[in-house]
Structure 1
Amino acid sequence: MKGQCFTVDFLTKKRKVNEGEVPQYYVEHSHEPIITPEEFDKVQTELARRKRISRQYSGKSIFSSRIVCGDCGSYFGSKVWNSTSKYRRVIWQCNGKFKGEHKCETPYLDEETIKARFVTALNAIIESKDNILEDCRLMQATLTDCTGIDTEIESLLEEIEAVTELTKRCIAENSQTAQNQEEYAARYNGFVERYEKAKARLEQLRTTKAAREAQAEAIGAFMFEMQELDTINEFDEKLWLTIIDTVTVHADGRMTFKFQGGTEIEA
C-alpha cells in the first residue's frame, strides 16, 4: 500500500509520503465503525437492488425506482410544478405517460399522498403481523436452502478443472508430436465449448444464489422491523426504505404496496 505519510526522522519530525518503503497493515476492528454492521448490510442490499434495475434507477429521492405504473410498467418519476413561485410543488407521475401512442391513465401523486397511503398500508399488515412473520420465516428458509445449487456448482467446478487439464494436454501433445490439424482443431474446439458452457452455467447459478440470498436478507430486515412495530401515526423514511419492495399505482387511483416479505396490501 502507498500514499500515507510516515516519519523519516523522529527528531526533526520530518515526514514524507509512503511510496512503499514502509509496509502498511489493516487491523480488523481497530476503530469504531462509522455505521453499524446491520446498516452496512442494508446498504449492500440496496446497492444490489439498484444494480438489478440498472439505468432506470435514480437516487434523488427515497421514492425513486419504487413506484411502478400499473398501466405500462414504467417507474414513476418526480416533476416540479410552479418551480419559481410560492406554489412550487413536487409530484410523481409515470415516466412513460406521454411516450408512444398509448397515454398512461395512471394519475399523478404528491408526496403527502404517498406517505399517508404507506402509513395506512403498514398499519393494515401490523394487525396480522404474526401470520405474516410466519410466512416470511418459511419463505426465508426456502430461499436460503441452496443445497441443490451448491451441489451443481461443485460439479461444474470439477468439470471446468477437468476440461482445463484436458485442453492443456491437447495443446501440449500438438506441440510435441505431428498431428492432423483438423482433428486437433476439432478436439480443441470441443474442449473450449465444454468449458464455456460450464462457465456460463456456473455464472448463472452464482447469480441466482446471490439474488436468493439478497431476497432472504431483505425479508430478514423486514421481519426485524415488523417484530418491533405497533401502530404508527406518521411516515417513517427508514421503514419505507427497509420494508417496501414496490408500490403499483392503478388507473383508478388505487395503490398496491408490496412489502419485502411478499405481502401485498391495497391502500
Structure 2
Amino acid sequence: MSTTSPSRNVTVIPAKPQGSAPGQPTKKKLRVAAYCRVSTDKDEQLNSFEVQKTYYTEKITSNPNWKMAGIFADEGITGTSMKKRDQFMRMLRHCREGRIDLILVKSVSRFGRNTVDVMRTVRSLREKNITVMFEKENLDTSQMTSELMLAFFSAFSQSESESIRENIIRGNAMAYAQGKVSVSPTMFGFTKDSNGEIAVDEEQAQVVRMIYNDYLDGMTPGDIKKKLERLHIKTSFGRDTWNTTVILSLLQNEKYMGDALRQKTFKPSLFSNRSKVNNGELPKFYVSDCLPVIVEPDLWQQVQEEVARRRAKRASTEKAKNPLEGRHRGKYALSDILICGKCGSPYRRTTWAKKGKKKIVWRCGTRLDYGTQFCNESPTIEERSLHTAIVNGIMNQYINVSADMELLKANLDRALAPQVPGGEADIRTRISELTQQKQDLVARCMEENDITKYELLLTKIVEELEQLNQRLKGIESQQKDRAVTETRMAEISELLKQFADSGLQYDDVLTRRLVSAIRVKSDEEIEITFKDGKTRTEMIE
C-alpha cells in the first residue's frame, strides 16, 4: 500500500530592494561619483583627462535621479598601485563613510591595473552595497553573478602594463648601450639651452663647487646645509631648506664631472613601490665625457676619497657600540687626523683642570677610556704646543721664510689648487700657429691637386689641435673653480700677512687642506703626512 506525502504550503516573501537600478526612478536620489585617471602628463593625455571630467559631470547632473557625489580624478599617476592615487583613496574613504552609492568609471584599466587590488576593492564596495559601473566593458557589479568577467578584464589590463614595462626596460637598455644620457630637470647645476641641449647653470654651478670645496675643508653635510640656508641659497625645487641626504648625493654624483653611470637602480617588478640599488642584478653602463663639466675630475675624486675615509673612520672611543665605525666631526681638524703612534687610536681633545686652572690637551682615546691598561706610553700634548708644531711643519714644507709674499702665496696656491700643465696663453698661441699651418697645407694641396703628399702632416696637426683644445677646456673649467678658490685664498693671504708680521697662526681649514695624517711618536715629536704624499717630523716644544 503506497503512501503519499501531504503537499506543503510554501509562501514566497519577495526580496526587499535595497536600491533601484541605476537610471530608474526612485524616491531617494542615488549619490553618484565618477573616477577618472590618466597615466601620463602629456598634452594628449591631459586633454583626455579634461574630457573625462566634463563628460561625467554632465552625465551625472543631467540625470534627475542622481545626485553629484564628486568627481575624483588622478592626473599623471600609474594604475598599478593605489597608494599614490590620492583622489582614488579619497573616493574610497567617502565610500566607507557612506557618502557614495554608485561609482562610474570609463574602463577597468582606469580603475586599476593590478588584478589583486581591483578585485579586493570591488568586493569591499559590494559588501557596502556600492555599485561600480565600467562603461567600456558594460560591467555592473550589482548585476554580476560571477567575478569571472571582471577578473578577465582586470588581468588583461595588468598584462598591458607588464608589456609596456618590458618595452620601456628594453628601450632604456638600448639607449644606455648607445651612450644616451639625460639629466633630471630638477638636478641642481644643470639646465637646458635654447636648443634643448643640456647646459650648465653657472649660478648653481658655483654653489656646487663651493659645496665640494667646503666638504674637503672638513665641513659635514650638516654644516654645509646650515651654510646654504644662511646664505639663502634655494634648492632646485625653489625651497629654502636643504636636506643632508641631498647634499651627500650631490657630492657623489659623477654627472658633475661630466660622466654618467646608467641603471644604478631598478624596480624588481611592476608592482614595486621602491627602486632597488643595482648590485649586479642588471648590467650598468658608464658613459664618459657625455655632459658639460661642473666639477673637475681631480676634485671630484678627492671628494670620493674623503667620503670613503669618513665612512671608514675608526670611532674615537673603544667603548663605542661599534669601534670600527666612527663619525666624522667637523669642529676640530685634528679629531680626524691626529692618531696615537703607539696603539693607532684617534686622539681626543679634552680639558684638564688643576688647582683652578684649565688647559686644553689632546690625549689618546684608548688611554682616556681604559687608563694605562692597553696604552701606557702615549703622551698627553698641550693644544698650543701641538698647533705650533703643525704650523712649523707647514711653513718648513711650503713656505720659505726669506721669500716674498707673492712667492709664499704661490706655493700655497699650488698646494690648494694644482694647475693644469701648460699656460692658457701658450696653448692659444700654439693653436693659432697650428691653425695657420693647417690652412697653408690645405692651400698647397689645392694648388698641387695632391692631398696624399701632405696627408700625414695634416693628420698630426689635427691630432695636436684636438689635444690642445681639450687642455684648453680643462683650463677654462678650472678657472670657474678658481672663483671659489679665490675666496679661500683671500683668507690664506690674510694668514700670510700675519705670518710676515708675527708668524703664521694655526688654522683648521689650512690644516685640513694640506695635512692627511699626524702621528704622535712621543711627547717631543710628531710625524706629519701631507696630502701630496710627503712626510716630515716636527719637534714639539
| Bucket of the pairwise TM-score, normalised by the shorter protein | 0.3 to 0.5
Q: Which has the higher helix share?
A: 1
Superposition TM-score, scaled by structure 1 size: 0.47
Greater relative CO, 1 or 2 (CA 8 Å, sep 6+): 1
